[in-house]
Amino acid sequence: EPEVTQTPSHQVTQMGQEVILRCVPISNHLYFYWYRQILGQKVEFLVSFYNNEISEKSEIFDDQFSVERPDGSNFTLKIRSTKLEDSAMYFCASRTSGANTGELFFGEGSRLTVL
Amino acid sequence: AQKVTQAQTEISVVEKEDVTLDCVYETRDTTYYLFWYKQPPSGELVFLIRRNSFDEQNEISGRYSWNFQKSTSSFNFTITASQVVDSAVYFCALARFGNEKLTFGTGTRLTIIP
């Protein structure tokens, strides 16, 4: 069964360091997303991406964050200078153009720990 | 502003019991979507159902059923004859019509005791 894969599963970094989280969406999907979940809290929308550009972003997604689809298969989230409060589980998701809004396929997440 | 409230933080039931997970939402939009997602111990979020605000028909899928009541802004989820594999965190979510952003509730952790 096709799935969204994310790497790394867990990354530990020092405050101020750059981090790149990688995602391989399902191959025929056209819409891509990043969400995050701070431990024990709700899942929060970060950004949506379609046709090689950001279609929507939340107030969390400030200048420290960026997304890219560099090679037609990977979808990356970069945090330029990590803060302690960036510690969270980051989920990548994707959907086809034919799927209804919100019927997303999520990966298993990348846990980011900022020390 | 949109908001989703799942007042039940944790629920434990014995296997084969029925269980209902509550979801109450707030939105100023007249058209919107409601969702339920399941987060098993492996961590990924698994889509369960999507409802349009203009379709209040209840839905049943196997042991799962959903009760959507616009009058009370609720979208409750019932599992009949629960099984251990149903143990997970369940999230209710809301999206504006035509919008990509899902607003999630805080989730309900369901534990089914064998």
Between chains, do B93 and A102 touch, taking CB under 8 Å as contact? yes
Residues forming beta bridges with residue A79, ordered by sequence position: A19, A65
Continuous segment of H or E residues that includes residue B108? strand B108-113
- Span A79-91, average pLDDT: 96
At A98, is the pLDDT very low, low, confident or very high (cuts 50, 70, 90)? Answer: low
Instruction: Quote the pLDDT of residue A100.
Output: 65
pLDDT for the residue numbered A97: 75
Check: CB of residue A36 under 8 Å from CB of residue A45: no
For A15-58, what is each residue's pLDDT tens digit? Answer: 999 999 999 999 888 899 999 999 878 899 999 999 899 999 99
Within 8 A of A42 by CB-CB distance, chain B residues are 91, 104-107
Residues of B in contact with A58 (CB under 8 A): 101
Phi, psi (degrees; rounded to nearest 5) at A85: -75, -5
- Token pair 């589980």 is at which residue? A89
Q: What are phi and psi of B72, to 5 degrees?
A: -110, 10
Please give the helix or strand (H or E) that residue A106 lies within, else none. strand A105-106
The pLDDT tens digits for B25-83 are 999 998 999 999 999 988 888 999 999 898 888 888 899 999 999 999 999 999 999 99
Tell me if B59 sits within 8 A of B65, measured CB to CB. Answer: yes
Considering chain A, what percentage of its residues have pLDDT values greater than 90? 74
Nearest Cα of chain B lies from the Cα of A91 at a distance, in angstroms, of 8
